[in-house]
Amino acid sequence: MNALRVGDDIGSYGPLAMSIEDSVRWAAASGDLTPFHFDPQAAADRGFEGPVVHGPWKAAVLRGLVQRWLGKAVLRSFSADYLAPDLLGEPMVFGGSITGVGVTTDGATQVDCELWVKRADGSLSVRATCAAVVEEELDGLPLERVKQSVRLGEVAGVFVYEVTSGDIARFIEAVTGEPVDRDDIDEAPATFYAALDPVERRDLDLDDFVQHLPFRKTGGGNAFNEVSAVRPIRAGDVVTVTTRYTEVYEKKGSRGSLLFRVRENELTDAAGERIATTRCGHVLSFDLTSRTVTPRAEARA
């Protein structure tokens, strides 16, 4: 594909007219059986001169236009505004242009587009925007882009957690299955450090790129956990957790290529004194001979 530039026309598709047969098939497939989309009398009762084309059908044509033009691309966002109705049998032209070209946090090319649907008189019936990520052909795991996606070596996030005796009690009860007296709890067990991991708590998620690699996943999980502790966590502590990814590497395994990501959490108290440093290694295995396509689009139509 040639260089992508702001202002480039992505081409057009049409003129295209939706027939009543098309409308009925779309209604059955989408579950939108509103009568004015295929019944002339129902349309007349709503003040239309004829049955009205489904809006989501027009949005689907626009999305298809972008993907045909860009080739291997994933729509990360799509939004459509319906400005005027289109009637069955009337010609429509679909098109658009590039409004922005940039680079995502994981190093991919993102293309922002403005899209439209025009009626025979040239007026707009739909105006839409989308962001599409151009997918590169991968022969192996893209380690450099994985490093970019997890911000390797940089601070990925800083989180503050206030620890109560109830938090510690719930953790102990979950681990042991036995009730505990919360009034007797002061210090947390050594395993409690893991309870303040922002990734495990779903407060930090840098997995989007890795989870959508175009290879079949064959397994995954924690590879190791390590703790270097200065003191236990105590009830009443206000703990600041600073997270960064320190390593990304690949190994060969019996189930395919193993992708390792290692993160480090530094835990400090309200005075800034270090409580502990934890390291966690996470591994995903991929079959590089089996390609998949996983959509990432968030669409509003």
Domains (ranges, CATH) in the chain? 9-136 (3.10.129.10), 143-291 (3.10.129.10)
List, in sequence order, every residue forming a beta bridge with 73; answer none if it has no partner.
134
Q: What is the pTM of this model?
A: 0.59
Predicted pLDDT of residue 300: 47
Encode the chain (301 residues) as per-residue pLDDT tens digits.
Answer: 557 788 888 888 889 999 989 898 888 888 888 889 888 899 899 999 999 999 999 999 998 888 888 777 778 889 999 999 999 999 999 999 999 888 776 667 888 999 999 999 999 999 999 988 876 666 678 888 888 889 999 999 999 999 999 999 999 999 888 888 877 788 999 899 999 999 999 999 988 778 878 788 998 888 999 999 999 999 999 999 999 999 999 998 877 899 999 999 999 999 999 999 999 999 999 988 876 654 444 444 4
Strand order of the sheet with strand 298-300? 9-16, 92-103, 109-119, 124-134, 73-82, 298-300
Predicted pLDDT of residue 114: 93
- 186-190 long-range contacts, Cβ below 8 Å, gap at least 24? 186/234, 186/235, 187/232, 187/233, 187/234, 187/235, 188/163, 188/232, 188/233, 188/234, 188/235, 189/232, 190/227, 190/229, 190/232
12-26: pLDDT as tens digits: 888 999 998 989 888
226-263: pLDDT as tens digits: 999 999 999 999 999 999 999 999 998 877 899 999 99
Judge contact between 30 and 23, C-beta under 8 A. Answer: no
